[in-house]
Structures are given as structure tokens and as C-alpha cells.
Amino acid sequence: MSATPRWRPLHAFTGGAAGVLLVVAAWEAAAGHLNPLILPSPRAVLADVITLLSDHTNWFVIEATARRALAGFFGGAVVGLACGLLAGTNRAVDKLVDPLMTLLMAMPPIAWVVLALIWFGIGSSSAVFTVAVAVLPIVAVAARAGLLARDRSLDRMAETFGAGLAIRLFDIRLPQIVSHVAPAAIAALAIAMKVAVMIELLALADGLGAALARARVNLDSTRAFAWIAIVLALVLILDRGLLRPLHRRLEQWRDAGHAPPQPGAMA
Amino acid sequence: MSLQMSGIHAAYGLREVLAGIDLSIPAGSITAVIGRSGSGKSTLLQVAAGLLAPQAGEVACDGRLACVFQDARLLPWCRARDNAAFGLKCLGVARRERRERAAAMLTRLGLADAVDCWPAELSGGMRQRVALARAFLVAPRVLLLDEPFSALDPGLRLELLSMLRTELACNCAVLMVTHDVSEAATIADRIVVLDGQPASIVVEHDLGRPVRPRSLPEAHWIAARLFADQKVAAAFAIDSAPSNVVSLKVS
């Protein structure tokens, strides 16, 4: 009978921030020996991040990228989830969709950028589309795998109670694919941000990617590093502030088996 | 008649499992189907539940059906109360009402403290009681039990069998499959023995409806009488000496 794990601040620190601090320390050491144009110091980058964030117009830059990345992410995730559920439920659909997902996974995002610019022109639609097609196969493959690995005895239990389609989907099947889809969604969110910044850098006039492009043109490496730091922080905030708490909430029942039994919880 | 099975033939692929089963279970009675492992008991139950289409024959179920399985089959992501309320949800009962009724039923089954527990926090017996609550709450006309008490200790099993008698309205037909002859003899009005490849009914014994679950000595005495029948002894591949059937559990 294992007790509830005790929170150990030292472990949390060593497990979380130590890695980042190690990289920053190495960065600081390297920056001392290199031209600031090649590698600015972390302190200079941090100061520039503060400068950028204190100008409210830059928040619109961040908002534009976040909006495109999230719109594409949720659009791609919803369609991917639907494709994965259909493929995991119906063998004929699975045969149809499986090779398409492989092709979509293999397609380089830069190729989608070119096609999106031809189809939708220069604008947010191209970015949202490119992000969505990058996210879609990742979520679809995970949803399909989750559905195929489900406990089918629960399907039969629901069938004996005459459960309708909505109950079988929302109460029986979706909860079983969370453990497969959530890690895929976390990876897909990072990819969504990367793709959004990439298309902004290549073709759009606003957003974090476009700001990065301007820093490159001005040979302002401190500014470029500052924007990169903001992109990474944005991914971290969305990941730790949105997806992981949602995942924990949806799967809180998994912790129950590891908790000490409640008083009187023996037959 | 609440459950009527006529001329049931069932198969898994080319392997025929059931051959011409005729079974009628009137409302208010409990029929136990016994036989050794692999004799087709669970297949018969799946056909009755509509989970397996028979190759031939007909199943007529007069009203709502509920099933309790050997492994409880609770939804691990739902608390005990929501698991018990699952059948009511399938019937379209409003959330507040079904949660109230589920909590009341769990309390009646001795789980008042476990209403908000996750299934992983419950013992095997408690999970099985939640599964029973789920079945009782839909007020079934036909209740199918697939060895629901086989993993439990004898005391708890007797307790749950008593609940089965007290909680069910007299208009419910119960079909219980088990390989435990004593369990069948404790509660059933009628015992049906399956044997053969493919399986058919070899013996039917009417025991009469018990006022309360029979005591263990009574059940053993009935089991001993059953095993005096050569067909029953052959179905379990044992000698028919009565000394073999005390605490008999054929696996």
C-alpha cells in the first residue's frame, strides 16, 4: 500500500527549472566569448523582451500569431478527431483514411505553405489552413489508435442498456482515447506554433514570424532572440496553462487507483 | 412470459456452440444455467442479451433488459454514483433525478460512503454492488447475470444474493449463468444444466421459489441431489458421489 507521494520542492526544482538554467548558464558563458551580433547574452535578451512587452502594440503581434496557431490547432484537431474516430469505428473508412494520414504526415509543412499561399493568398487563412493540415494527421492517428485499443466490453455493456449513439461516443469512447490524444495534442500544439511562425516569416506582414523577419533584415540578433523567447514562452503558457491542466482534469480518475483507500472502502 | 428462447442455435465462426436451446423464464422467477467452463453458458447469455445473433431460433424479451457481468464493467472515469446512473441516462432520465436515485440505491446496497468514489477506489464486492445498482435502477423485466458473484467470498455472495431477491420486483425474470452449483442452488427457482458439444440442455430441475436465499447446507443438499443424476455428474465430468459436492465449485 503506497502512500500519496510527498511534494519535494528540491525534486520539483531539479526536475523542472534546472535544465533550463543549465542551458542559460552555458549560453551566458558562450556569449562572453562571442560577438553579440552572433550570440547576445541572456541578460540583453531578457532586457529586450521586457522592452518589447512594455510596448502594447507588440501584444497585437503576439495575439495575431496565437490566434492563427490556435485556430489552426483546434480546426485541425476537431477534423483529425472526427477522422480518427471514423477510422477506428469503421473498417472501410479506416482503409480509406489510413494511407491519406500517412501522406499527410509525410508532407513537409513548407510545401503546404506554398499551396496555401496559392489557394488562399497572403493572409491569415493561409496560416490557419497550414497549421490545421499539420495538426490533423497527428490527432487523427492518435484517436484511431486510442479507439482500436479501447475496452470493448464496455461497448457491450452500453449496448445491453440500449445506449444511444451520443452516449456511446461521449460516455464510452471519447474518455478512452484521451490518454492517446492528449500527448499527441501537446506535440501538435508546439508544431502549430512553429508552422504559424514559419508562414508569417515567409509570407505575412504581421505576427511573431514577421517580427522575426524584420529583426533578421536589421541584423538585430538581440531582437531576434527576444522574439524567439516570446514564441517559446507562448508555447509553454498554452501547454502548461491549457492542455496539460485539461488533460489532468479529464484523467483525474487515473490517480484514484494510486491513492490510499478511503476509510471503510473494503467489502 | 418475460424471456422466451426457442430453438436457439449459435456459433462462433464454424464452431457451433449451442444446439437447439429452448428456455422460458416467467416473470418473478430465477433460472440458473450451470455447466462447466466452455459449455456455452455465457454464449447463451450473450444471445439473450442481443449481443450475439443466433444462427437459428428466436429470442423474445418482454420489456427492458439489464445485464450484470462477472467483471462489473464500470466506467473507470465515472464515480460510483454516475456508474450506477448509467442505465437511467440511457433511458433519458434527467441528470439530477438519476443522480438522486443512484445515490439512494447505492445507499440501500450499503454503499452510502462510496457514492462519490472512483471505481479504482472500490473493492471487488463494492464494484459488483455498483453494477447491481446500475441494473436494478432501470427496473428491468429481464435481468441477465453472468457469474456476477464468482470472485466474491461466500459471505458477501450470500448478502448480494439476498439483495437480488429483495430488490427485484416480482415481475422480473432472472437468468443467471454460473459454474458454481451451490450458488445456483442458493437462489434459483429452477436449475438448467448445459452439456455437450455443441451444448444443449441435458437436465432441468424445478426447485420452487425460496422465500429467502437458501442456507449453505440447504444448497449443498440440493447440489448433492442434482449430482445424483448421472447426466449432471457427466456434465461436470465428476463422480456422482454426494461427498464430492460439498463446497462444490467446478472450474
CB A202 within 8 A of CB A176: no
- Domain assignment present for residue A263? The answer is no
Phi, psi (5° rounding) for residue B144?
-105, 130
Q: Is B69 within 8 Å of A175 when comparing Cβ atoms?
A: no
By C-alpha distance, the chain A residue nearest B136 is: A161
Judged by CB atoms closer than 8 Å, whether chains meet at B123 and A153 is answered as no
The tally of domains found in chain A comes to 1
**H or E stretch covering B143:** strand B142-146
Residues shown for chain A? 267
Candidate from A13-22, A114-123, A239-248, B144-153 with smallest mean pLDDT: A13-22
What is the domain range of residue A182? Answer: 38-250
Q: Is residue A233 part of a domain?
A: yes
Given a cut of 90, is residue A125 above it in pLDDT?
A: yes
Strands B190-195 and B200-206: antiparallel
- Which residues of chain A are within 8 Å of residue B152 when distances are taken between CB atoms? 267
Read off the C-alpha cell for A56: 502594447
Q: What is the pLDDT of residues B7-24, one digit of tens each?
A: 999 988 888 889 888 999
Between the CA of residue A139 and those of A73, A102, A191, A252, what are the distances in Å? 10, 12, 12, 21
Q: Return the closest-CA partner of residue A4 out of A264, A266, A262, A267.
A: A262
Q: Is the dihedral of CA A179, A185, A187, A190 positive or negative?
A: negative
Contact B114 A265 (CB under 8 A): yes
- Burial grade of A264 (CB within 10 A; 0-12, 13-18, 19 or more): exposed
Distance CA B3, CA B66 (A): 12
A157 touches chain B (CB under 8 A): yes
Query: What are the φ/ψ torsions at residue A249 (nearest 5 degrees)?
Result: -65, -45
Q: Are A200 and A210 in contact (CB under 8 A)?
A: yes
pTM given for the model = 0.79
A265 with B152: Cβ contact below 8 A: no
Torsion of CA B123, B127, B129, B133, to 10 degrees: 150
Give residue B150's pLDDT: 75
Q: Assess if residue A255 is contained within a domain.
A: no
Quote the minimal CA–CA distance from A249 to chain B in Å: 11
Give B198-214 pLDDT, tens digit per residue.
Answer: 888 887 888 877 767 77
Q: Look at A262 and B113 and tell me if their CB atoms are within 8 Å.
A: yes
Report residue A212 as a C-alpha cell. Answer: 522575426
Neighbours of A241 (CB within 10 A): 10
- pLDDT digit string (tens) for A81-96? 999 999 988 889 889 8
Please check whether residue A115 lies inside any domain of the structure: yes
A55 domain residue, yes or no:
yes
- Whether A141 is in a domain gets the answer yes
Residue holding cell 508569417? A200
Is residue A25 one of the residues assigned to a domain?
no
Which of A161, A176, A249 is the best residue to mutate to test the B interface, defined by the most B CB atoms within 10 Å of its own CB? Answer: A161
Higher-confidence residue: B185 or A178? A178
**A174 in reach of chain B (CB within 8 A):** no
CATH code: domain of residue A244: 1.10.3720.10
In a domain, A14, yes or no: no
B71 with A261: Cβ contact below 8 A: no
Residue A257's pLDDT is what? Answer: 66
Q: Is the pLDDT of residue A254 over 80?
A: yes
Q: Kindly report the number of other CB atoms within 10 A of residue A87's CB atom.
A: 25
Nearest alpha carbon to residue A163 among B71, B230, B91: B91
Give the separation between CA B148 and CA A85, rounded to whole angstroms. 32
> Across the A/B interface, how many CB contacts are shorter than 8 Å?
82
CA distance, residue A80 to nearest chain B CA (Å): 23
| Shortest Cα–Cα distance, B61 to chain A (Å) | 12
DSSP-derived letter for residue B67 is E
Q: How far is CA A86 from the centre of its chain?
A: 23
Q: How distant is the alpha carbon of residue B206 from its chain centre?
A: 17
| CA–CA separation, B194 and B235 (whole Å) | 7
Does A177 contact chain B (CB < 8 Å)?
no
Q: How many CA atoms lie within 13 A of B205 on its CB side?
A: 21
